[in-house]
Structures are given as C-alpha cells and as structure tokens.
Amino acid sequence: MPSRAFAVASCLSFAALLSAGTSAALELPLPPEGEDIVGQIQVIKAKYEDTFAAIGETHDLGYLELVAANPGVDPWLPGEGTDIILPTRFILPPGPREGIVINIAEYRLYYYPQGKNVVHTFPLGIGREGWGSPVGNTRISAMTSNPAWYPPQSIRDEHAADGDPLPTVVPPGPDNPLGPYKMSLALPGYLIHGSNKKFGIGMRVSHGCFRMLNHNVLELAKMVKVGTPVRIVDEPYKFGVSEGKVYLEAHAPLEDGEQKTLTLMDKHAVVINTLLKRDEAAGKLHLDWEMVREIIAGEDGLPIQIAEQRTEVAVHEEQLF
C-alpha cells in the first residue's frame, strides 16, 4: 500500500500546478451535498526575506499549521527558493454548516454566510495553557469598532506579578491588544477580536479569546451580525468524503499541564471512535490502517485518503493496534 509520504507527494504534484494563479483569499465554494472537502493545497517558492509569520499573514494561514505542513523547514529563515506547502485544503468540521464554526484544535474559524454556497475560513490565535478557549454553542452578542480594552483583574494581576502593570483601560489605537474590532460572545468574557501583534495567529497565545489578523477580523465583521450563531468544537481528527473517497486530517490534540500526554494508542482509539461515529450510517469501510497510523503520527493537517466509501468490509478495531 502507498505510504503517507507518497500520498502527500501525489497531492503536491497537483498542487504545484495551482501555485502560480491561486488567490490567497480563503473564500471557498462549498462541495456538493454529502461531501466535506474544500480548497486545494498550494506550493510557493520562499523569498529571501520570508518567514512563516509573514507567509501566514499573506495567505490567511496560522504559524503552527505552516510548521506542521513543512517539517524540516526553518520557519524564521526558510531560504530563497525553498518550496513551502500552503495547507489550504480543509475537511470541514462536523456538524451544521451555518454561522461561525471554530475548531480550536486546528486554530481555525469557518463562516458560512446564509444563502451563499461558500465558506470563509480564517486562522486564529486561541487560549494558551491555563487559559483555554471554551467549547460549546453561543452567538455574537455585540460588535464594536475601535474598541477600548478594560483588562480584567485576573490579567492585571498576572501582568503586575511579571513587573508589567496594566492601566484600567487601554484606549483604541496601535497599542490596543484588541485591534480594530471586537465581537463579543454570549459567553461572558470571551471575544473574537483583532490584535496589535501579527505574531501569534495560529498559536496558543491568548487568555481564552479568539485572536485574528486585523484584515481578517475586519472582513468577518462586514459579513456577520449580532445574533450570528457560533459553535466552538475541539476536533483534532476530521474525516471527510470527496468523490467517493474517505479522508483523514490530523492535528496535534490540545493538552494542558495536568492532562496526561496522549500516547499513540490513545490517539488511535480517539480516531476509531470518531470514525465509527462519523460514518455509522455510511456502511462498512475498508480502511488503510497503515495510512491511518502514519497520518496520526504525522499530525500535518493535510487531508489524506484512508478508504473508499461504502465498501462492505467490516472495520475491526484490533487492526488499528
């Protein structure tokens, strides 16, 4: 059976054909009903002055997803002429395709505008260890242009302990960490907002809020309104169907200090449970278990084929271990 490396190489041989003329804006047409994959992987040549942070800002990608998709490449000095994989092919998160869906495991937001057959997707900074971002269903409760920041006492205490005391209010402007726009969620204390720092998008950097590139938050603010539903999920392993084939996309699971590190067997168990739940009505699947193992170990965020859909071969859990 072909290896994951072969599968990735096959994707990239096609991606190279797309590299010259593909738009960076991640507004993508939705797939046909019953399918789950949008976009195409792209490849660019790095310039001398490029960094992953700068490439991410240009192409609406987060820092860690670029690192995961480009193992062995120096994110601070990729080198003139180095091929850089842009992981701009996505399996859509499970569940209803409406409003805003945030998958914290992939540091990414999806927005489905009502009545339009497209999805917009943007990279996010999420809550760092000890300040994890929430999971659940909520909505946008308020929208504010050029917001002031009123740091809560917990954050003021943290900064004071580090010798960096904060004022009670930070006015709008270039020093404001909320950037040019904030969208309050109906979860008290949580926001979707811009930033006065470009670095950190696509990383665990915030106190639980969802941080966006400024041009992204302004674009999103033009499309959503108060009351827009927001669904926040934690799905490191996404499965999707495209043209009768089943794909797996794996991201590194989020783990905090007291949470034990997941072993490879733990991850295998999560994958099989998720897959069986995802495709319980789709018939039995004949899975390429060796490919599944490689994808889970690689955690590169690229959708890779693992099965043909609706075959009549039973899934046996013992094959995974």
Instruction: Tell me which residues are annotated as active site.
Output: 193, 209
Q: What are phi and psi of 4, to 5 degrees?
A: -60, -40
Written as one string, the DSSP assignment of 12-76 is HHHHHHHTTT--SS-EEEPPPTT--EEE--EEEEPPTT--HHHHHHHHT--HHHHHHHSTTS-SS
Distance CA 214, CA 60 (A): 11
What residues contact residue 205 under an 8 Å CB cut-off, 6+ apart? 125, 126, 128, 211
Written as one string, the DSSP assignment of 236-266 is SEEEEEETTEEEEEE-PPP--TTSPPPPHHH
In this structure, the strands spanning 181-185 and 191-193 are: antiparallel
How many C-beta neighbours within 10 Å does residue 253 have?
A: 17
Burial-class residue 217 by CB neighbours within 10 Å (0-12, 13-18, 19+): buried
How many C-beta neighbours within 10 Å does residue 166 have?
A: 17
60 to 35, 214, 229: CA distances (angstroms): 24, 11, 23
